[in-house]
């Protein structure tokens, strides 16, 4: 049976989807974009946007009863591959050991014209 996960500490869904779904001890998040959930603002620059998205992802996983330590896979979508290094440095602040598997792809455009979006799969 699946359980819908929702929190006010991550950006609200901007379409017909859930922030995350838990099923069989696994948590699957939707893509998290760098929108400050309290203000709706999007920070400037890749570093600040990466930090906001990762903070919101962490908050979403916490609401699901798990954490960044239990993430097994992430997918990072970035608007500009030249920002890869900057985003990677912020990513390493949130994943410090036992790094999850990851895919990172450059895309033409993201919702609200943000610079990145990240999704994750975690165990409980």
Compute the average pLDDT of residues 40-64.
98
What amino acid positions are annotated as catalytic residues? 104
Q: Please, what CATH class does the domain formed by 3-123 belong to?
A: alpha beta
Confidence at residue 122, expressed as pLDDT on a 0 to 100 scale? 98
Confidence at residue 14, expressed as pLDDT on a 0 to 100 scale? 86
* Per-residue pLDDT tens over the stretch 61-92: 999 999 999 999 999 999 999 999 999 999 99
In this structure, the dihedral spanned by the alpha carbons of residues 44, 95, 78 and 74, taken in order and rounded to 10 degrees, is: -140
Domain ranges of the chain: 3-123
Integer Cα distance of 98 and 55 in angstroms: 19
**Does the model's pTM come out above 0.75?**
yes
* Per-residue pLDDT tens over the stretch 8-19: 999 999 899 999
* Per-residue pLDDT tens over the stretch 22-42: 999 999 999 999 999 999 999
- Average pLDDT of the chain to the nearest whole number: 97
């Amino acid at each position: 049976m699946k359980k819908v996960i929702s929190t006010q500490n991550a950006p609200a869904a901007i379409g017909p989807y859930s922030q995350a779904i838990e099923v069989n001890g696994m948590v699957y998040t939707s893509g998290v974009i760098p929108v400050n959930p309290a203000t709706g603002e999007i920070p400037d620059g890749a570093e600040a946007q990466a930090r906001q998205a990762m903070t919101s992802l962490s908050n979403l996983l916490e609401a699901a009863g798990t954490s960044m330590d239990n993430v097994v896979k992430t997918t990072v979508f970035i608007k500009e591959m030249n920002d890869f290094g900057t985003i990677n440095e912020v990513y390493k602040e949130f994943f410090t050991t036992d790094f999850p598997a990851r895919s990172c792809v450059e895309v033409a455009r993201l919702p609200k014209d943000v610079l990145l979006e990240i999704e994750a799969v975690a165990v409980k």
